[in-house]
Chain A
């Protein structure tokens, strides 16, 4: 089974900060990588699909990059509504452990 390793597990940041979360697959998954945002008590919300494609309606401050085994989610300028937990997922497969983004 492919393992997804996400880091960091948590981070503290301020509004306006640039935030980067990384995800590494145990073997190549090409670009079959999605990024989700989840808030407490809610289902996950897709942000990025196919590693770098921004879902329609998602703010342009979110971006994804990478292919093969190494992937990155970047939030260019953290907004108050962005404080949440973020997960990478191999499409129809394993999730990373999650990154909780908290207010500094």
Chain B
């Protein structure tokens, strides 16, 4: 079964850090470009960033609101995608989804940034 499962969400104070994980199964993860997408409460979908496959260079790109604070990485040996979030702000509060950029999406993990 093709699946993505996010984990690592939780409550963190402003200025804190959190690392999200996304475990992939059922498809060729190493060949896939992967994205993180978030959705703040009651708001629309917001693209966070993307990492290319290693064969395509493995480079990353980020949305302006998170550039310099968030970092995406991947471990193809573990079929796992990561999102390292530093210097968190209250406006980063959202459900975070990983996706293959097309049809495969996780169920989301909730990040709450609050004092």
Residues of A within 8 A of B (CB): 1, 34, 36, 38, 43-44, 46, 49, 55, 85, 87, 89, 91-98
Q: Is B44 an interface residue (CB 8 A)?
A: yes
- Residues of B within 8 Å of A1, CB to CB, are 63-64
Chain A interface secondary structure, helix, strand, loop or mixed?
loop
With A1-B63, A92-B33 as known contacts, state yes or no: A97 contacts B44, CB within 8 Å: yes
In the complex, the answer to whether B105 meets A94 with C-beta atoms within 8 Å is no
In the complex, the answer to whether B106 meets A43 with C-beta atoms within 8 Å is yes
Complex CA gap A45/B35 in Å reads: 15
In the complex, the answer to whether A43 meets B107 with C-beta atoms within 8 Å is yes
- Residues of A within 8 Å of B33, CB to CB, are 92
Residues of B within 8 A of A (CB): 33, 35, 37, 44-47, 50, 61, 63-64, 97, 99, 101-103, 105-108
* Choice from A43, A85, A87 contacting B105 with Cβ under 8 Å: A43
In the complex, the answer to whether B102 meets A34 with C-beta atoms within 8 Å is yes
Q: How many A-B residue pairs have CB under 8 A?
A: 46
Query: Distance in Å from the Cβ of A84 to the closest Cβ of chain B?
Result: 13
* Choice from A55, A89, A93 contacting B103 with Cβ under 8 Å: A55
* Choice from B35, B46, B64, B105 contacting A92 with Cβ under 8 Å: B35
Query: Distance in Å from the Cβ of B102 to the closest Cβ of chain A?
Result: 6
With A1-B64, A93-B50, A98-B44 as known contacts, state yes or no: A43 contacts B108, CB within 8 Å: yes
With A1-B63, A46-B103, A91-B101 as known contacts, state yes or no: A98 contacts B45, CB within 8 Å: yes
- Residues of B within 8 Å of A87, CB to CB, are 44-45
Complex CA gap A87/B44 in Å reads: 8
- Residues of A within 8 Å of B97, CB to CB, are 43-44
* Choice from B45, B61, B107 contacting A89 with Cβ under 8 Å: B45
In the complex, the answer to whether A44 meets B45 with C-beta atoms within 8 Å is yes
Q: Which residue of B37, B50, B108 has the most chain A CB atoms within 10 A of its CB atom?
A: B37
Q: A92-B33, A92-B47, A96-B44 are in contact. List 19 more A-B contacts (CB 8 A).
A: A1-B64, A43-B97, A43-B106, A43-B107, A43-B108, A44-B37, A44-B105, A55-B103, A87-B45, A89-B45, A89-B47, A91-B101, A92-B35, A92-B101, A93-B47, A93-B50, A94-B47, A95-B45, A95-B46
